[in-house]
Structure 1
Amino acid sequence: MAFVLSENFKAFINTCFLLLLCFFLTSHIRSPTTFINGLQSTPKGINCVGFHKLRDQHAKCLFLKTQTPCVSQGYVNYLRIFYCLCGRYPPLGYTLLASWLLVLFYLLGNTASQYFCSSVESLSRVLNLSPTIAGVTLLSLGNGSPDVFASIVSFRSGSGEVGLSSVLGGAFFVSCVVVGIINICGSSLPHAVRIDRSSFVRDVCFFVVVLSSLLAILVVRRITIWGAMAFTSLYFVYVSIVSATHFCREKYEDLVVPIIKELDEPTSAAAAEKEAAEGSEAKADHEDYDQEGSSSSSPPSSSSSSSSASRSLRWVLYAIDMPLYLPRRLTIPDVSEERWSRPYAVASATLAPILIATFWNSKRGVLGSKEGLTIYLYAGLIGLILGLFALHTTMKNSPPKKVLFPWLAGGFLMSVLWTYIIAEELVGLLVSLGYIFGISPSILGLTVLAWGNSIGDLIANVAMAMNGGQDGAQIAISGCYAGPIFNTLAGLGLSLVVSSWAVHPEPFVVPVGPALFEILGFMIGGLLWALVILPRKDMRLDRVLGIGLLAIYLCFLSLRLSQSLGLVQV
């Protein structure tokens, strides 16, 4: 018993360390949605609404060259590329932006599936976390921390309604679209995947309670510092409930499972004999198939020209993929068995602190200053120490077997950082496309920015559900509800705490628009639909549930678009 408690306490301490480190990393950097109010005014007060009134390409290019950029996200000024470099050839500009959009989606998906999901699964094993607890802690943290600080900054900058719309739009997208796609894709898997009933009902019901509490706050339109703190503390209640149910389940399994095994022992022995017999027959068939396949699958004789063409194509693809692959491989520690490389491991331990320093300096605007140089020197020293340590403690042929937590924690943090960087660039491109096509800020906040903030959840959770088996699907589904709960309570909750603290003892007036009530109504409807359908399908991933969730989201989207176009008045 003491051993179990010590292991649980160690897992709790390590998880808290990761949480605090991620918060420290993201609390001082700008999020992709921080400057959504730039659609109305830039940080220096330049009015960007007038940009849409300019019809001439040359005038728009002149405006972008002389004024503060309207889009503050990302590292590339896409508007200048489109209107200045490709001003005379708009099709070329559309082609370039569309191609780069596909590249960013590929990078985001590849980073999530190859690095982020692998580190989450390995961390959950090292920390002895159940799939459910891993979903409500590590996965929620990795996906939700940028949204939390984006919401806080938007409230502090006077764009509270935008922060509310962005967080709720992302939560709606994840709880409907992502869960729907997981169910549609999971229903086609060769082996039926079942979700734990008690965990699912607990998460969905608690999310309904959270949204109902938020609805009450929006109806009242005012909140005090104590009310904001009570709303935020609901997340600690949720984590406590998840931990308590997991502990009770472990105690139940320790008491009941040995008895069930003793009762099923004769049956298990007979089943094992039958399985062994079937396995030997299958092995023989497989050997026969291998012999036939070896003879039939030998490469046909081909001309030297086709062989040279295929070799050239492989080199072209390799040259294209290498600039996208190498920076992440050199900075994300990866100790998985199939991708282990000692040189890459040493390089990642050395270069990861330098990448963090570069990212930190760029966000704080001190790249060329003495402060930036000092940060680089410290980062270089830390990287050198970590690189030498990795060189002397790792082997060439196999990844380390002991003291895995620092490696996995580093891989988790760096994959989160890379996902953040790519997502920020993606959102910057999407916002620029919004300017190019003249999309209104309200639609942009509820759709494009919500999609941009949630695309990591979509790719990571779907990849984990499809490739992680039963545990992977459980982590993904838990993350689809725990992530929005985290974003709503931590993001909006802390935003309300900060805003109400600034006007204490007076209550803070919550910025409310009709779209917020609509999205809450549709979101609660989607949760109730999932709560009814999935238990009726014996907790198996089901196509009907997925199609229904996607239909609910499309109905909301159609309503918002109709309202923005003036076709429907509500």
Structure 2
Amino acid sequence: MASLSSFSQSKKLLLFLNISFLFLLTFHLITSTFLDQTIKPTTTQYSLVSEGIDGEGCTGLHDYTDYKSQCIYVKSHIGCQPKGYINYLQIFYCTCGKFPILGHAILLLWLVVLFYLMGNTAANYFCSSLESLSKILKLPPTIAGITLLSLGNGASDVFASIVSFTKSGDGDVGFNSILGGAFFVSSVVVGIISIVISPKQISVDKHSFIRDLLFFLFTLFSLLLIILIGQINFWGAISFASIYILYVSAVSASHFYHTNKERKMNQFAIPKNTFIVHSHEDDFGEMGIPLLGYVDDEKPILELKNSIEDHDQQSPRFFNLDSSFCDYFGKILNLLELPLYLPRRMTIPVVSEENWSKPYAVISVTLAPLLLATLCNTQREKHMGSSSSLVTYMVAALISIVLGNLAFVTTKKTGPPRRCLFPWLAGGFLMSVTWTYITAEELVSLLVSVGNILGISPSVLGLTVLAWGNSLGDLIANVAMAMNGGRDGAQIAISGCYAGPMFNTLVGLGMSLVLSSSSSSSSEYYVIPRDPFLYETIGFLMGGLLWSLVILPRKNMKLDRLLGSGLLAIYSCFLFLRLARELGFLKLH
């Protein structure tokens, strides 16, 4: 019954997502081939729609009431063309024109699948590569936590921001998704943590807390100046992104200062004739265990793998029943799990002990260059000819053959390679980034299309749907760590609630501004989107940080209900004002 219970919880959701993906893929292929050809414009409809072909955006979509005219408008208007790979407006108005409820259901289901792909890729592939890289680089957990761990947790936010600036050209979505996620994590997540662990009377480190909040406030103040000026050049964007390097330097200096201070105190406390036995755990800093969970000894990993294999042999994967029917049904379920798993597994190199497979390793390094070539060609399809695309594919195929043969010769079936791990990890990191970018690109495109369908600004969707979806993992992980990890767990959770959003703001928005300013052809400056609500978002966000900065020291750094209730009230007030204004219930100037 235990295996059945496990299946009903985790496997059921995974199967639902995979079956949904198969359904959506089949639906898209059939409708794009047959059904959308049934709507053809009449003379009147064509004349009406052709008036707005050269306009900007897709603002005239709701000027037409019947779905046929809207379908023709979507097909003919340049501003309604998809920002990603799928034309969601055409699917909604042309394919599902008679059944808008079906269109809403399909888009919502695809939104869930995209969020799962982004989160699962970051958790199972991206973070795995970062963990191994932190082991090879021998980073202390404090430094790894604010660099590699923040990059792993914020990969989806960073790439969604970069895509919104560079690909879709809608910087409002990037600004609002980053700031909305930062506001959600620093207010809602910190507020919930403070309320749930209030009875335990746990306090956090005052020095680290004040340092993080002051850096975060300085970051927001710098961003506010950029928005007030209204434009930024390449070196200004570089300077803004470099604030995170300053933050990492300050955290590193503080960490090494306290480490050396404790080491000197321990030397004075130990008698001269006493032998000192050095332990590897001393290198892990104040927590005693690495944040990214790596180990220096292979024995625990092998024991864990053996215990998992023994458990799998004792308990069937899906049902604990001795029946050929159940075995056959289990194989079918295994096949249904492949649609979302197989494309990433066959293009992302994985060299972890527990997930090693030589066939997958050879296939992944062979297909990875081809996927990169396809992505490059699609990104510059509007500017390059077919000959350049053919050259790209030929070079990628040559690299694929070389890498595939090297992987086949140098690897073993029994386990991952022990030497020259850095190229493998770098490849896994690069391909994880590629998949995250592809998913983020499609997610932003979907949100822009949903905004056009509902008549809601895409920036509001970025502030709510995109920010909440990307921050859901932070909410679950940080709350669980604070509740079950004691004082150390609460310290890590609270630090992550500020270091993570700061990373997303400085690196996500910083890199977006760097790329946008460097690729700006009209002038040397990138013009910041004119969104007056950005001032409101930054103001409320800074208000929440100041509330924490004032209340927590007065409570002797103990997380309590007053801190949490205040943060939740600030976020609720902001969200109510923004949504009420967007929906027309409240009009403020």
Query: By the TM > 0.5 criterion, same fold?
Result: yes
Aligned to 2:346: 330
2:186 corresponds, among 159, 166, 175, to: 175
1:131 aligns with 2:157: no
Unpaired runs of 5+ residues, structure 1, are 1-40, 266-293
CA contact (8 A) 2:191 2:567 kept: yes
TM-score w.r.t. the length of structure 2 is 0.69
Rounded to whole Å, the distance in 2 between the matches of 1:420 and 1:542 is 39
Unpaired runs of 5+ residues, structure 2, are 1-50, 275-310
Superposed displacement of residue 228, structure 1: 6.2
Aligned to 1:516: 534
Rounded to whole Å, the distance in 2 between the matches of 1:128 and 1:368 is 46
Superposed displacement of residue 85, structure 1: 2.0
Superposed displacement of residue 87, structure 1: 2.0
Change (3 A) 1:102 1:319: farther
Superposed displacement of residue 109, structure 1: 2.4
Q: Which amino acid letter does the alignment assign opposite residue 61 of structure 2?
A: F
Rounded to whole Å, the distance in 1 between the matches of 2:445 and 2:391 is 30
Aligned to 2:127: 117
Greater displacement, 210-219 / 83-92: 210-219
Superposed displacement of residue 216, structure 1: 4.2
Deviations 1:524-561 (A, max 9, x none): 12223444566678878878766654443332111112
Q: Which amino acid letter does the alignment assign opposite residue 75 of structure 1?
A: Y
Superposed displacement of residue 223, structure 1: 7.1
Rounded to whole Å, the distance in 1 between the matches of 2:88 and 2:558 is 44
Aligned to 1:77: 87
Deviations 1:184-222 (A, max 9, x none): 89959xx99986654443222101012123334555667
CA contact (8 A) 2:133 2:422 kept: yes
Rounded to whole Å, the distance in 1 between the matches of 2:437 and 2:464 is 19
CA contact (8 A) 2:240 2:506 kept: no
Report the 3-state secondary structure (helix = DSSP H, G, I; strand = E; otherwise coil) of the residue aligned with 2:348: coil
Change (3 A) 1:177 1:415: farther
Aligned to 1:567: 586
Q: Which amino acid letter does the alignment assign opposite residue 572 of structure 2?
A: L
CA contact (8 A) 1:123 1:405 kept: yes
Change (3 A) 1:251 1:168: same
Rounded to whole Å, the distance in 2 between the matches of 1:391 and 1:414 is 19
Change (3 A) 1:421 1:211: same
2:444 corresponds, among 424, 427, 438, to: 427
CA contact (8 A) 2:201 2:560 kept: no
Rounded to whole Å, the distance in 2 between the matches of 1:334 and 1:171 is 31
Greater displacement, 460-469 / 525-534: 460-469
Greater displacement, 395-404 / 66-75: 66-75
Deviations 1:504-541 (A, max 9, x none): 8xxx9866543122111111122234445666788788
Change (3 A) 1:546 1:307: farther
CA contact (8 A) 1:131 1:474 kept: no
Q: Which amino acid letter does the alignment assign opposite residue 168 of structure 1?
A: L
1:89 aligns with 2:110: no
Alignment coverage as a number of residue pairs: 487
1:381 corresponds, among 394, 398, 401, to: 398
Rounded to whole Å, the distance in 1 between the matches of 2:496 and 2:104 is 35
Rounded to whole Å, the distance in 2 between the matches of 1:124 and 1:91 is 48
Q: Which amino acid letter does the alignment assign opposite residue 369 of structure 1?
A: S
Superposed displacement of residue 169, structure 1: 3.4
Q: Which amino acid letter does the alignment assign opposite residue 146 of structure 1?
A: F
Q: Which amino acid letter does the alignment assign opposite residue 97 of structure 1?
A: L
CA contact (8 A) 1:196 1:474 kept: no
Aligned to 2:422: 405
Greater displacement, 240-249 / 310-319: 310-319
1:554 corresponds, among 552, 567, 572, to: 572
Rounded to whole Å, the distance in 2 between the matches of 1:108 and 1:314 is 27
Change (3 A) 1:346 1:525: same
CA contact (8 A) 2:552 2:558 kept: yes
CA contact (8 A) 1:108 1:423 kept: yes
Aligned to 1:345: 361
Aligned to 1:485: 506
Q: Which amino acid letter does the alignment assign opposite residue 395 of structure 2?
A: Y
Report the 3-state secondary structure (helix = DSSP H, G, I; strand = E; otherwise coil) of the residue aligned with 1:395: coil
Report the RMSD for the aligned CA atoms in angstroms. 4.5
CA contact (8 A) 2:129 2:429 kept: yes
Aligned to 2:380: 364
Change (3 A) 1:551 1:354: farther
Superposed displacement of residue 58, structure 1: 1.7
Report the 3-state secondary structure (helix = DSSP H, G, I; strand = E; otherwise coil) of the residue aligned with 1:73: coil
Rounded to whole Å, the distance in 2 between the matches of 1:186 and 1:349 is 46
Rounded to whole Å, the distance in 2 between the matches of 1:109 and 1:514 is 31
Rounded to whole Å, the distance in 2 between the matches of 1:548 and 1:313 is 52
Aligned to 2:76: 66
CA contact (8 A) 2:158 2:509 kept: no
Rounded to whole Å, the distance in 2 between the matches of 1:261 and 1:554 is 54
Q: Which amino acid letter does the alignment assign opposite residue 333 of structure 1?
A: P
Greater displacement, 363-372 / 407-416: 363-372
Aligned to 1:203: 212
Identity score, percent: 49
Report the 3-state secondary structure (helix = DSSP H, G, I; strand = E; otherwise coil) of the residue aligned with 1:340: coil
1:214 aligns with 2:231: no
CA contact (8 A) 2:178 2:504 kept: no
